[in-house]
């Protein structure tokens, strides 16, 4: 009987070591600030430049959402972040004289990665080495036992 218990515990330990910790989440399973940062980093690299470096990321407020009519829960984070662009971003949009180039924005006072805020859809030029401050938000939608970020990944 003792051998059977030891064998069962060994199988459980092997299984528990192979499964991610989030798979066992029962309480406090909401997305965390580090998940919000990862979503932001992914969106920055996709929208602006792969070499961008998030130097500062501070959550200013967050809360769970009841997404009425959608039948699922949500979670929202508001944050400020400083991002350095060593190589710049969207260099093809560098201003040269008058009107912005097609597909490029001339807005250099506001930058965002999300749709909820006042999103600028056209590409924005950022000069090499510049640090941009983002005051932004990101949202997660619950999908089964996981949370889907605005980058399309599950957390």
pLDDT band at residue 120 using 50, 70 and 90 as cut-offs: confident
- Report pLDDT for 152: 96
Q: Tell me the three state secondary structure of residue 9.
A: helix
The answer to whether residue 14 scores a pLDDT higher than 80 is: no
| Cα torsion 87, 89, 93, 97: sign | negative
pTM for the structure as a whole: 0.78
The answer to whether residue 18 scores a pLDDT higher than 70 is: no
Express each pLDDT in 63-115 by its tens digit: 998 777 767 899 999 999 999 999 999 999 999 887 889 999 999 889 988 76
The answer to whether residue 38 scores a pLDDT higher than 60 is: yes
The answer to whether residue 46 scores a pLDDT higher than 50 is: yes
């Amino acid at each position: 009987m003792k051998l059977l218990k030891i064998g069962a515990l060994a199988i459980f330990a092997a299984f528990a070591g192979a499964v991610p910790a989030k798979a066992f989440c029962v309480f406090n399973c909401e997305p965390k600030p580090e998940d919000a940062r990862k979503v932001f980093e992914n969106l920055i690299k996709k929208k602006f430049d792969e070499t961008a470096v998030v130097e500062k990321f501070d959550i200013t407020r967050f809360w769970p959402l009841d997404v009425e009519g959608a039948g699922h829960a949500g979670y929202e984070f508001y944050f400020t972040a400083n991002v350095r662009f060593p190589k710049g971003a969207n260099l093809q949009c560098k201003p040269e004289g008058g009107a912005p180039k097609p597909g490029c924005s001339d807005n250099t006072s506001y930058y965002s990665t999300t749709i909820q805020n006042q999103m600028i859809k056209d590409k924005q030029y950022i000069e090499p080495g510049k640090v941009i401050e983002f005051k932004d938000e990101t949202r997660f939608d619950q999908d089964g036992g996981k949370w889907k970020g605005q980058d399309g990944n599950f957390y």
